[in-house]
Structure 1
Amino acid sequence: MNMEPVKRNILLNPGPATTTDSVKLAQVVPDICPREAEFGAVMREVSDGLLRVVHAPSDTYEAVLFCGSGTLAMDVCVNSLVPTGKKLLVLDNGAYSSRAADIARAYAMDVIDAKLPVDCPVHLDEAEKLLEADAAHDIAVVYTTHQETGTGILNPVRELAALVHAHGALFIVDTTSTLAMRPIDIVRDGIDFCMASSQKGIQGVTGLAFIIGRKDIIEASKDYPVRSYYCNLYQQYDYFRKNGQMHFTPPVQVLYAARQALKEYFAEGEAAKWQRHTETMTAIHDGLAALGFREVIPRESQAGLVAAVAYPDDPNWSFERVHDTCYAQGFTIYPGKMQGKGTFRLCALGAITKNDIEAFFRVLRGVLDDLGVAVPVHYEIEAS
């Protein structure tokens, strides 16, 4: 069968990300029972590659694979790593850390949802106050996001890790929108557990979630409450260790794509890939500035992968119409998550380059002209 060329869309949403054709086509493989040793070797190759991405030593860390999205990885960490009678502290400065607190509440866990400003990184002094208030040492786990994807804010993970560990707690970091893009060294950065999914930084396809964390804590967690039958970290880890298989049916073709995506990650190289994302993000900043758009998060607080952009104060502006017209021309943009504020996001994720961004802004300028939106765009209140 002759295959038609795959149409290339530029996804400027925060995931799934634009993939290469070689990753897409890696899914076209002979059918295989996922209980075969041959497929177990594929999963082991993916797990080992994920450890390499975050520089995790294989004698003390493990990458545990699940079938699901990034939210499933969050669920696994939240429900599996808090001992009986202990509390989870969520440093909540955005939609995705809020989701972690929601997961804990869904399991009726004892969670401290520390609501912090959504327009700036977590302040170390605020985190320290929360930990100092824990006189009874009830907080066993502290959870934060690396990049709050709804805004693009970068939280100071390494500094927070030092505080958390000084208070004897475990540190979980949601790296869903940074892993395999911003360089991460799990030991140097003081991260006990991190997570992501295949459709983000490794540039695979949707359906594989993974948790990377300390083996000693995973093994200790066998004595913690089993709050979920499907999403239990120790059970999945132990089953793979004993059998070389996922406990339940894996996303077979997705794993072949993930293996190919990791090969391409290592071929490009950590530093070169981050440089490409940086150049892509610079092109986003430049394109927004040229049209007069206002970014709502100061550049110094951004992770360098997501720009949250304020809607202009123009009666002709319509995000829906801008989205639909850009989408029809192969560019996907996405609304923001800033608690009622009118924003959209442009993201430097996936297999895209600054040339793709320059092409997008030519399309966006044409859309604004067609809608009658004044350029440079207008805001009633000047930025402070």
Structure 2
Amino acid sequence: MSLPSPAPRFAPPSPQTADRPRLELRNLRKRLGDTAAVNGIDLKVAPGESVVLLGPSGCGKTTTLRMIAGFLQPDGGEIHLDGVVASTAAFALPPEKRQLGMVFQSYAVWPHRTVAENVGYGLEVAGKKKKEIEAGVAEVLDLVQLSALAKRYPAELSGGQQQRVALARALATKPSLLLLDEPLSNLDASLREEMRFELRALQKNIGLTTLYVTHDQDEALVLADRIVVMNKGRIEQVGTPEEVYRTPASRFVGSFIGIANLIEGEVDAVDRGAGKVRIALDGGDRLWSRAPARWLADAAPGSRATVLLRPEDLRLEQPQTPDQERGIEASFLAESFLGNRYELKFRAGTTPLRVQTRRRGTFVDGRARLWVRPGSAWVVA
């Protein structure tokens, strides 16, 4: 069951605030013991934008979220909400004064309260009158399709329904920014996939500004307008889902998001006008690859380079209009059936390669030539 497409419930930003970031982090820093958990990050989140903090455990994404929420105070830098300073090393606005909503990984719904009572709690704390609370609860329960379950207790709900209760409670106070800390990680795989699309539809339909923390790359790709990839307390790259997947800024980003085939070689020719280089791979083959502008500016024949190829961009069939490339010669190792595709493992020289294809391959003496989809190869720093 998918969520409906209601008219926007949150007022759009006024002309005076439309260009002002809903959230701005300036050189934000935080140490936890001897570790620089957040080590000088800068970020702006625009009104109505969905931004996802993505990275492995310990990269600093949850620490960043907790500082924004007001649960931790930074050691340095500043947090601005709607142009107002919310936190510095010397000052911290209390969490309840920040006009934020928060959805936790553990749902954090009260077992002794009904669905309606859970959702209305924030309105009670805000001192709203009974009729206002009832109207607000009814509105947000309708939004997340829980109206029929208003009188149930959490123990009578599924995991997905409890997560919707937590989301409804956060939305009931009409926050200017919604923070979500891995809210789907406790759901089973099929429900988690369904909820990703429901959350995205809800965020777009009501124009809600969200900052979402996850280590799940699939969630990030579905939910984000922009992904912030973090590693060891720093930001490695900020970009659209397609940018961080197709043109990663570093080996870490390329390897962390999706499956990466990384092949080493030397620059053989440079075409700065076309934004690409030809790489003589260590295995003996050659291929043309796009490259970042800053890297390309210093590229010269003989320079070492690492090329990223995604598994879906390697083909077993020679293109009908072959170019001057001969493909990559490889040895077949293994095959797995994954339902909607086959995943094949090869070795080119000493480099392992993974290929995803809709059809099974046939090989002579266990050898194959892999053809690269034009324009898909990318040099990573």
Give TM-score, length-normalised by structure 1.
0.26
Greater relative contact order (Cα < 8 A, sep 6+): 1
Which protein has the bigger helix share? 1
Which protein has the bigger strand share? 2
